[in-house]
Structure 1
Amino acid sequence: MRPHSQTVKQKSSSDTEREFGGALGAVSITMFLPLTVLYLICVSRSPEASVFHWPPAAPVTEQLWDPLALLLLLAWIALHALLYLLPLGKVSEGLVLRDGTRLKYPINGFHALCITGVLLLLFMGLGAPLGCVFELLLPLAVCAIAASFLFSVCLYIRSFWVPAHALALGGNTGNPLYDFFIGRELNPRIGSFDLKYFCELRPGLIGWVVINLGMLMKEAELRGSPSLAMVLVNSFQLLYVSDALWNEEAVLTTMDIVHDGFGFMLVFGDLAWVPFTYSLQAAFLVVHPQSLSSLGAAAIIALNGLGYYIFRKSNSQKNQFRRDPSHPSVARLETIATATGKRLLMSGWWGFVRHPNYLGDLLMALAWSLPCGFSHLLPYFYVIYFTVLLIHREDRDERQCRAKYGLAWDTYCRRVPYRIIPYIY
């Protein structure tokens, strides 16, 4: 269902389609999103927790820089670089590149998550105050943002020393501002260490779980025990991250790996945006505790379970079909042939809507926010943002699939008219 890079020829800079509003949009996003991260953290810790109130009452006076935050960030990245290199798990090949080769990737992200959990338990057993993450959240975010800019500059510079076939199709426009944002090189590596793949699922995604745990420990320090709302948020999001890492191999066919270059857009998203905005619900609950009834908690758990079921089943069906179309679980599904030789699923989950995994994602996103109550908009920032993100991502995917599959894609769209939400969108 996603485009394969080997079937698309290299475009010149003059006919490469520019995403996100071109250079102006790229510059605006590069300037605006880092400020958004810092602002949202401040709002989550203010008494009002109002996204429309500026300045937030207290957090703007907090320290933005702490050398301990920089030390922790560097140690965290170094730890996961080491775990990435450990000979654990299996090694899988990515899709065929334009030069006909396949890159190899270690599938050991779930091992890294488990080892991280054991290390955290050891440190907590030795008396390490994990709740201090709450006080360090703002300087940690500042350091992550600074590291994202520095890393992106290094990636942009090194991209001029790689062969043309190693560049991303959309990241070689000749406009330095846009190319810096979108990423020039498709798969930057240091030896066998794939920088984009490493950042995609390791330090930021697992960091999100650790930040959540830090918020839980801080709430326990303040109130004697974590609230049911905090436990639900931690549990739901831990399940999501665990699932992503358990099914790590599936990321090798995603748009991020196959199509997008590794520039500021992905670097910042992986290292700063994900860990510090996806953890807003937990940060909010530390300062704004919420009570949940047993019935309310059960309904939220059911909603998250439904979302997860749709998300996992649809993704598993797609991935199984890609790996082995003759497998009994997918062999009887209706498909349509395309000019590329590939076949498109037209039944099962992918005959329900065109992106059933996105529907599951949105249901889970809502379940993560509901434990925070309805008195503030901030905990629902993720739902709003993620809806916009998935609609934009779905539009990019639709355009690429139409360009690749042509009439077959039009036939599929007529057969499956709804994109994400049945009978609505």
Structure 2
Amino acid sequence: MAEKIRTSRTTELEFGGPVGAFLLIFVMPGTVFYLLLTCRTKEASVLQLPGPLPPFESLWNPVALMILLAWFFLQALLYILPMGKVSEGTPLRDNSRLKYRINAFHAMMVSSLLAGVALVLKLPLSYVYDHFLQLAVGSAFLALVLSIFLYMKSLTAPMSALAPGGNSGNPLYDFFIGHELNPRIGSFDLKYFCELRPGLIGWCFINLCFLMKEIELQGSPSLSMILVCGFQAVYVIDALWHEEAILTTMDIVHDGFGFMLAFGDLCWVPFTYSLQGYFLVTHPQKLGVTAATGIVLLNTLGYIIFRGSNSQKNAFRRNPADPQVAGLETIPTATGKRLLVSGWWGLVRHPNYLGDLIMALAWSLPCGLSHILPYFYVIYFTVLLIHREARDEHQCMKKYGLAWQEYCRRVPYRIFPYIY
């Protein structure tokens, strides 16, 4: 039976199967470049073409590529340094457990120190804004090279190491979804490293560069830019501080590491999640104290829901007898595990998604209401989380059966109370 599990093929294909995977390989980079080109225009309208495409020579910059590689290898060096603790992941199909070094927060602190040195030395951080499109092209190129390497490496991996969702037998689909679950070079876990470090930490420092560019142009940072940079920095620092929680997420436990995650981690996250700051540099917005206070309160509400629900879930997974969660109502399942049906998880099935989306809206509001482009993140994230929730629903139904049906009856709303 165990051997059958290890060699089983993926039969449930997502994103439209091989055809959808093929299209997304072009649609994802195309979306990034379209948004960045549009953002630099005076109108910044997603409904108007941003003009003729720049010549290739202006998009490819060896210096930008060297900066990206230096950043990537700096984060890789910080990852392998003996800082932080080592934790075990969830059991794999062969019952082994991989070890992970938990030191992303340390990496953020070291990176922040280096950024402080760059500010003291008055290095031209505005270079990032001035060459942002070239940096995005370089990042997409690195993601493609990494994806090809990952797929070639997966061809020599044992069957037990392949991803449950990326073993279809179709090379294009498996290349996109990710053929190998936890590709490693020695003890260096490529998926885990890319999940939080180069792109997510890079997102924060891209925002810092935008802030410095705004100071260069206007003499001082705007309240809108300060709020955007501050909100997003808190979000990233929170993710890094709670790094260990990522070991139980779908990305680590179920999804392989292929083009989808490689491009998402290295290019999509840093170059689209920072779109509000990029927009504000050339489309400054005046923000009054009253509006700013309301936006801060909205972001605080989202963070309370997001962090409260995630902390409750993680505490319950680690130890159901923990005093923080011991009094919560649960539903037993045939697997021996229990499902939370009270607290945050009695409000909706994914309260963490609800908090995430409220924060996403708060990040966009400082950009005003006259352009839809800065709201791309919240629109995209809504679609992403609804799709992810559907994937979660499908996996939980297969895993928990009748217990999950009972949970859905008790908690009928998926993300938005009384709406969805």
Once residues 16 and 10 of structure 1 are traced to their aligned partners in structure 2, the CA distance between those partners, rounded to angstroms, is 14
5 Å-filtered alignment, 1:206-285, equals 206-285=201-280
Once residues 302 and 168 of structure 1 are traced to their aligned partners in structure 2, the CA distance between those partners, rounded to angstroms, is 41
- Residue 3 of structure 1 is matched in structure 2 by none
- Residue 19 of structure 2 is matched in structure 1 by 24
Pair 183,58 (structure 1): closer, same or farther in 2 beyond 3 Å = closer
Once residues 58 and 185 of structure 1 are traced to their aligned partners in structure 2, the CA distance between those partners, rounded to angstroms, is 36
- Residue 42 of structure 1 is matched in structure 2 by 37
Matched, 1:289 2:284: yes
Q: What is the one-letter code of the residue matched to 1:12?
A: S
Partner SS state of residue 202, structure 1: helix
- Residue 8 of structure 2 is matched in structure 1 by 12
Matched, 1:421 2:412: no
Give the C-alpha shift of residue 159 in structure 1: 0.4
TM-score normalised by structure 2 residue count: 0.97
Structure 1 segments unaligned to the other structure (5+ residues): 1-5
Q: What CA RMSD, in Å, does the superposition of the two structures yield over aligned residues?
A: 1.5
Match of 1:183 among 172, 178, 192: 178
- Residue 363 of structure 1 is matched in structure 2 by 358
Structure 2 segments unaligned to the other structure (5+ residues): none
Deviations 1:316-352 (CA, angstroms, capped at 9, x unpaired): 0000000010011100111111111111101110011
Matched, 1:387 2:386: no
Once residues 364 and 305 of structure 2 are traced to their aligned partners in structure 1, the CA distance between those partners, rounded to angstroms, is 19
5 Å-filtered alignment, 1:54-69, equals 54-56=49-51, 63-69=58-64
- Residue 79 of structure 1 is matched in structure 2 by 74
Q: What is the one-letter code of the residue matched to 2:327?
A: R
Match of 2:343 among 335, 345, 348: 348
Give the C-alpha shift of residue 59 in structure 1: 6.9
Once residues 96 and 175 of structure 2 are traced to their aligned partners in structure 1, the CA distance between those partners, rounded to angstroms, is 26
Q: What is the one-letter code of the residue matched to 2:36?
A: I
Q: What is the one-letter code of the residue matched to 2:286?
A: S
Give the C-alpha shift of residue 132 in structure 1: 1.2
Deviations 1:60-114 (CA, angstroms, capped at 9, x unpaired): 8992111110010000000000000111111110000111110010110001111
Q: What is the one-letter code of the residue matched to 2:185?
A: I
Count, aligned residues: 418
- Residue 127 of structure 1 is matched in structure 2 by 122
- Residue 116 of structure 1 is matched in structure 2 by 111
Once residues 162 and 56 of structure 2 are traced to their aligned partners in structure 1, the CA distance between those partners, rounded to angstroms, is 43
Matched, 1:141 2:130: no
Once residues 263 and 139 of structure 1 are traced to their aligned partners in structure 2, the CA distance between those partners, rounded to angstroms, is 23
Deviations 1:23-75 (CA, angstroms, capped at 9, x unpaired): 11111111111011011111111111011111348978992111110010000
Once residues 237 and 57 of structure 1 are traced to their aligned partners in structure 2, the CA distance between those partners, rounded to angstroms, is 32
The percentage of counterpart residues that share the same residue type is 66
Deviations 1:267-298 (CA, angstroms, capped at 9, x unpaired): 00000000000000000000100000000000
